[in-house]
Amino acid sequence: MGQQRQEGFAANCLRKGSPSTVRAMTDDADVPADSHQQMRVSAQALRGLAHPLRARLLDELRINGPATATILGRRLGESSGATSYHLRQLSRYGFIDNEPGRTGGRERWWRMRPGGWSMSGHEFLSNPETRVVAQAVLDRLYQQKRRRFADWTALVSDSPDLPAVRRWKDAATDSTSHARMTPGEAAEFADALNDFLGSWGRRFQGRTPESHPDTDVVQVDTALFPVLPEAEGRSEGSAAERD
């Protein structure tokens, strides 16, 4: 793949705090002025995420960087007409925009919104008008994260001597920590953690496979939530209801 692509800790945030986002600063006139601002997802924009193909398009742009409808269609096994339509819808709702420096050609190049986006899962799940679509969107996002980690652990188990596994085995990590906090302390901790990730992410701003050929995309997941007696066993019941 010869196209240039920006990589870093460009993350979506599913709560009120700031995401860890690499902002690709540019003076390109074709980029909306507010593109570098974090977008708070509205109920209307949430519905724009509901289509499964749009989630796949976002994931592809997030991992592999800017691309055209034709390139994405080829990667995902979809027609360029379908990918073009859904890319325009994602742009309409503010999730993606045009790649600077690639305007004026036969096809648009699309990239993830530099400022990232955030949404309050609690807000949408507690509203009867948005609960169903919010649950579908969140389920899909969490499935993507779990699948990618499961793919990595399966690769390590099946092919421990693979050069790529040997290269990354000491750097990759998975950890779980518990601490007793108040909601205020937890919110303060989450903000500090997001700031820390953001400061590290800025170090990698502007990297491409061409400028840094010894790099790979690294996924960083964070989740902070209370372990409540009232929540025990709820996921099994909710999954059964959706099935």
One DSSP character per residue, 64-83 reads H--B-HHHHHHHHT--HHHH
What's the CA gap between 71 and 79, in Å, rounded?
Answer: 10
Cα angle 220, 154, 226 (rounded to 5 degrees) comes to 45
pTM above 0.85, yes or no: no
* Percent composition of the chain: helix, strand, coil (DSSP 3-state, to 5): 50, 5, 45
pLDDT at res. 13? 46
The tokens of 163 are what? 């050069």
* Length reported for the chain: 243
User: For residues 114 and 124, is the Cβ–Cβ distance under 8 A?
Assistant: no
Residues of the chain with pLDDT under 50: 1-33
pLDDT at res. 189? 97
What's the CA gap between 67 and 109, in Å, rounded?
Answer: 5
What's the CA gap between 34 and 156, in Å, rounded?
Answer: 42
pLDDT at res. 238? 61
User: For residues 145 and 221, is the Cβ–Cβ distance under 8 A?
Assistant: yes
pLDDT at res. 202? 82
Considering the domain 39-171, what is its CATH architecture?
Orthogonal Bundle (1.10)
pLDDT at res. 241? 57
pLDDT at res. 237? 64
Q: Which residues contact 60 (CB under 8 A, 6 or more apart)?
A: 67, 72, 75, 76
